[in-house]
């Protein structure tokens, strides 16, 4: 089927980035969030990020204006019901995601494709709670969405071939590259990335190195653009912990046990950049390691 209208649930870090790339690719986008304030902040950020692309000669001012005009916002979730494609990008909690799909369901067109931007939750299980498991997929974008080229496409056990091929075409139209993943905990990227971050936290926890030495070692010794602890702060330590718990619970292997220090930071509310403290303290002019 042809996708022209896209509904996005959630105007946070991921949702506004997804709205940005879809509007830029010519789709009509409706972005939903719980408050007008969140939506206003999201639109301001999209405007800022599009302006950055203009300044770098990646797009022109006319293209920016047209993209912004394609995005509308609403605090009423059911307004998304008439969309051809819905992308859920809400909090990484299964109960919340199930409630969103349940509220949307009576208002959907028969042809609407449902997707979740979940980074780790079972697509098969999410799909089974809806009336269209054959038209349900995992649609996992990387952060920051306008910059990162990969999109993981995850088929649930019931996803049909038409839905999969439709989303492959969508990924191509927005200028990204698709990686097809099977529906196992954390899929591909986070199945590999999160245990590395968790091991870096264990390295800190056991006193093998401090925050700065661990990050510098991986940047200079493995040519990573960002150290694992710096990256954890960027992603959000609560998100890292949630994904490690999904891996640990879903695969029942002790190698995925979340480091107690990661749990401690989350309990303290030190979640990284978004709370201004994590493995680094961001409250000053330059980030300072907290250990």
The active-site residue, picked from 119, 120, 122, 198, is 119
Residue 169 annotated among the catalytic residues of the structure: no
Query: Which parts of the chain are beta strand (E)?
Result: 5-9, 28-32, 71-74, 85-88, 113-116, 136-141, 150-155, 177-181, 280-281, 288-289
Q: Which residues of 241-261 are buried (b: 16+ CB within 10 A; e: fewer)?
A: bbbbbbbbeeeeeeebebbeb
Superfamily of domain 5-182: NAD(P)-binding Rossmann-like Domain (3.40.50.720)
pTM value is 0.90
CATH number of 191-289: 1.10.1040.10
The active-site residue, picked from 117, 120, 190, 198, is 190
Closest by CA position to 152, among listed 291, 8, 14: 14
Write down the number of H helices and E strands in the chain. 11, 10
Residue 190 annotated among the catalytic residues of the structure: yes
Summary mean pLDDT of the chain: 96
Query: Would the annotation count 274 as a binding residue?
Result: yes
Cα gap 126→155, rounded to integer Å: 11
User: For the CA atoms of 78, 79, 80, 81, what is the dihedral angle to 10 degrees?
Assistant: 60
Query: Which parts of 127-244 are beta strand (E)?
Result: 136-141, 150-155, 177-181
- Could you read off the pLDDT of 200-213 as tens digits, one per residue? 999 999 999 999 99
The active-site residue, picked from 32, 152, 198, 230, is 152
- Could you read off the pLDDT of 21-77 as tens digits, one per residue? 999 999 999 999 999 999 999 999 999 999 999 999 999 999 999 999 999 999 999
- Could you read off the pLDDT of 249-274 as tens digits, one per residue? 999 999 999 999 999 999 999 999 99
Query: Would the annotation count 15 as a binding residue?
Result: yes
Q: Are 261 and 268 in contact (CB under 8 A)?
A: no
Q: Are 152 and 187 in contact (CB under 8 A)?
A: yes
Residue 20 annotated among the catalytic residues of the structure: no
Would you list the domain boundaries of the chain? 5-182, 191-289
What is residue 245's predicted lDDT score, i.e. its pLDDT? 94
What is residue 1's predicted lDDT score, i.e. its pLDDT? 78
Query: Would the annotation count 14 as a binding residue?
Result: yes
Query: Would the annotation count 10 as a binding residue?
Result: yes
Which pair of tokens denotes residue 229? 């602890």
């Amino acid at each position: 089927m042809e996708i022209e209208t896209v509904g996005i649930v959630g105007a946070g870090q991921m949702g506004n980035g997804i709205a940005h790339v879809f509007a830029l690719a010519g789709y009509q986008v409706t972005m939903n969030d719980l408050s007008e304030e969140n939506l206003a902040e999201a639109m301001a950020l999209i405007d800022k990020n599009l302006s950055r692309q203009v300044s770098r000669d990646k797009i022109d001012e006319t293209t920016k204006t047209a993209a912004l005009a394609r995005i509308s916002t609403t605090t009423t979730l059911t307004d998304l019901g008439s969309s051809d494609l819905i992308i859920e990008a809400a909090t990484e909690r299964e109960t919340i995601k199930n409630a969103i799909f349940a509220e949307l369901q009576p208002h959907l067109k028969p042809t609407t494709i449902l997707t979740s931007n979940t980074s780790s939750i079972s697509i098969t299980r999410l799909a089974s709670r809806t009336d269209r498991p054959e038209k349900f997929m995992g649609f996992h974008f990387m952060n920051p969405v306008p910059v990162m080229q990969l999109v993981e496409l995850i088929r649930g056990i019931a996803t049909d071939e038409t839905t999969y091929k439709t989303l492959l075409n969508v990924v191509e139209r927005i200028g990204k590259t698709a990686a097809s993943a099977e529906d196992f905990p954390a899929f591909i990227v986070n199945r590999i990335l999160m245990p590395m971050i968790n091991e870096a936290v264990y390295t800190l926890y056991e006193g093998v190195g401090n925050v700065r030495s661990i990050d510098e070692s991986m940047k200079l010794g493995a040519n990573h653009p960002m150290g694992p602890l710096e990256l954890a702060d960027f992603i959000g330590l609560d998100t890292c912990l949630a994904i490690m718990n999904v891996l640990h619970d879903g695969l029942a292997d002790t190698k995925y046990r979340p480091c107690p220090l990661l749990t401690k930071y989350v309990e303290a509310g030190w979640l990284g950049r978004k709370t201004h403290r994590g493995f680094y303290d961001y409250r000053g002019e330059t980030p300072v390691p907290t250990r």
